[in-house]
């Protein structure tokens, strides 16, 4: 097992789940994607996140994804897995089903569907932590669960050893900076990763330890270069990479007739198909794939940002 005693930091893309035209996991595409990420130099992989379409899978599919991912990664980098469900009992059930895989931690959201308050959120994380020896990451994603995890609560969970880190997809950069500052003042019990693809540079300045960029499936090398530049304090390089990645991120705004993951994850899948890594851009039902002129516009952005060229030269390379 690849579990390391050092905390997971750096670039940890939320792995997309390539599908066959029939909607099954497309293993050859998955192998190409994992190869693409490892070649790009990522520090870890986050399976079964929102970008992995976890919300759309039944239990058997979740297991199939974990089996395929851990088998393909084969311990080359740490893998953490989302155990995302409505409330505590189902989350713990997902943890139990995942224990047999080579995983370095679980990613847990606040409970959702039924409204809960801070007391229930606290009890939820503690109950899940009690069900496993592996580290937990709190996933702060109010756009999906409609509750914001308070900085003070996250820090307390970190101090108590309940969670090891936070994946912040809250869109609240002010809250993130306050969390980062409070975490530092407390001796950094938490590792902080940002999920917002085009403001990772600002998150690094604020104190992020890494990023979980959905767009990192498309251009892992770019995020890795940005991370290394941030570590060495080369902020002009950080900014240059971020600006280029922000230009690439415009692909998610092209499918104007779609919302949510049908637009965002759909754009990533479409890009990976255009780059020759995915065989299809099929989405989990009830979503449908991006088609028509939206694909053309995505392809044009790939060209403008130099992605197609890299792929044509036999895969992404350092620019």
Q: Is 178 in the site for its own copies (CB under 8 A)?
A: yes
Pick the binder of its own copies from 25, 27, 38, 235 (CB under 8 A).
235
Residue 287 touches its own copies, criterion: CB under 8 A: yes
Q: Which is nearer to its own copies, 117 or 314 (CB)?
A: 117
Least separation, in Å, of the C-beta of 274 and its own copies? 22
Closest approach, Cβ 73 to its own copies, in A, equals: 24
Nearest CB to its own copies, comparing residues 32 and 196: 196
Q: What radius of gyration, in Å, describes the C-alpha atoms of the chain?
A: 18
Instruction: Examine residue 57 and tell whether it contacts its own copies (CB under 8 A).
Output: yes
Q: To the nearest whole angstrom, how small is the minimum distance from the Cβ of residue 40 to its own copies?
A: 22
- Interface of this chain with its own copies, residues 10 to 49, rule: CB under 8 A: none
Tokens 């998955």 -> residue: 30
Among 33, 68, 81, 84, binds its own copies (CB under 8 A): 84
Binding footprint of its own copies, residue count (CB under 8 A) = 69
Residue 258 — φ and ψ, nearest 5°? Answer: -130, 160
Stretch that binds its own copies, among 6-14, 199-207, 214-222, 266-274 (CB under 8 A): 199-207
Q: Single out the segment in contact with its own copies by CB under 8 A; choices: 27-35, 67-75, 196-204, 215-223.
A: 196-204
Cβ pair 211, 195 in contact under 8 A: yes
Q: Which of 167, 196, 269, 273 binds its own copies (CB under 8 A)?
A: 196
Residue 291 touching its own copies (CB under 8 A)? no
Q: How far is the CB of 28 from its own copies (least distance, A)?
A: 23
Joined together, the tokens standing for residue 99 give 């224990």
The reply on whether position 61 binds its own copies by CB under 8 A is yes
Considering beta carbons, is residue 30 or 92 the nearer one to its own copies?
A: 92
For 152-181, b where at least 16 C-beta lie within 10 A, e where not — what string? ebbbebbeeebbbbbbbbbebeebbbbbbe
- In SS3 terms, the chain reads as CCCCCCCCCEECCECCCCECCCCCECHHHHHHHHHHHHHHCCCCEEECCHHHCHHHCCHHHHHHHHHHHHHHHCCCCCEEEECCCCCHHHHHHHHHHHCCCCCCCEEEECCCCCCCCHHHHHHHHHHHHHCCCCCEEEEECHHHHCCCCCHHHHHHHHHCCCCCEEEECCCCHHHHHHHHHHHHHCCCCCEEEECCCCCHHHHHHHCCCEECCHHHHCCHHHHHHHHHHHHCCCHHHHHHHHHHHHHHHHHHHCCCCCCHHHHHHHHHHHHHHHCCCCCCCCCCCCCCCCCCHHHHHHHHHHHHCCHHHHHHCCCCCCC
Residue from the set 5, 6, 22, 117 that interacts with its own copies by CB under 8 A: 117
Q: Least distance to its own copies from the beta carbon of 178, Å?
A: 7
Asked if residue 243 binds its own copies (CB under 8 A), the reply is yes
Quick one: which segment of 86-94, 154-162, 216-224, 305-313 binds its own copies (CB under 8 A)? 86-94
Tell me the window of 5-13, 64-72, 108-116, 308-316 that interacts with its own copies (CB under 8 A).
Answer: 108-116
> Which residues of the shown chain bind its own copies in the complex (CB under 8 A)?
50, 53, 55-59, 61, 84-90, 93, 111-117, 119-124, 127, 143-146, 171-174, 177-178, 181, 196, 198-199, 201-203, 205-206, 233, 235-236, 238-239, 242-243, 246-247, 250, 258-262, 284-288
């Amino acid at each position: 097992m690849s579990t390391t005693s050092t905390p997971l930091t750096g670039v940890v893309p939320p792995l997309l789940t390539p599908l066959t035209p029939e909607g099954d996991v497309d293993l050859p595409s998955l192998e190409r994607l994992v190869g693409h990420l490892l070649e790009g130099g990522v520090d870890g992989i986050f399976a079964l996140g929102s970008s992995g379409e976890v919300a759309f899978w039944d239990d058997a599919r979740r297991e199939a994804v974990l089996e395929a991912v851990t088998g393909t990664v084969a311990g080359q980098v740490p893998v953490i897995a989302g155990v995302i469900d409505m409330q505590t009992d189902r989350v713990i059930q997902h943890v139990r089903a995942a224990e047999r895989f080579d995983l370095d931690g679980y990613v847990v959201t606040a409970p959702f569907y039924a409204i809960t308050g801070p007391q229930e959120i606290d009890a939820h994380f503690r109950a899940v932590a009690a069900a496993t020896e592996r580290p937990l990451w709190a996933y702060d994603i109010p756009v999906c669960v409609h509750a914001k995890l308070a900085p003070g609560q996250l820090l307390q969970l970190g101090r108590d050893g309940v969670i090891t880190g936070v994946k912040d997809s809250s869109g609240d950069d002010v809250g993130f900076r306050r969390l980062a500052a409070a975490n530092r003042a407390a001796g950094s019990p938490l590792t902080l990763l940002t999920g917002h693809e085009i403001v990772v540079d600002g998150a690094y300045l604020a104190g992020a330890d890494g990023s979980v960029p959905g767009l990192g499936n498309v251009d892992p090398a770019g995020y890795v270069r940005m991370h290394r530049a941030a570590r060495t304090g080369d902020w002009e390089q950080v900014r240059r990479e971020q600006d280029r990645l922000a230009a690439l991120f415009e692909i998610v705004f092209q499918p104007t007739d779609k919302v949510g993951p049908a637009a965002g994850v759909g754009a990533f899948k479409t890009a990976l198909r255009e780059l020759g890594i995915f065989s299809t851009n099929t989405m989990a039902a009830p979503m449908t794939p991006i088609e028509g002129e939206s694909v053309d516009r995505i392809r044009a952005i790939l060209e403008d940002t130099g992605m197609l060229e890299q792929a044509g030269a036999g895969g992404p390379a350092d620019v």
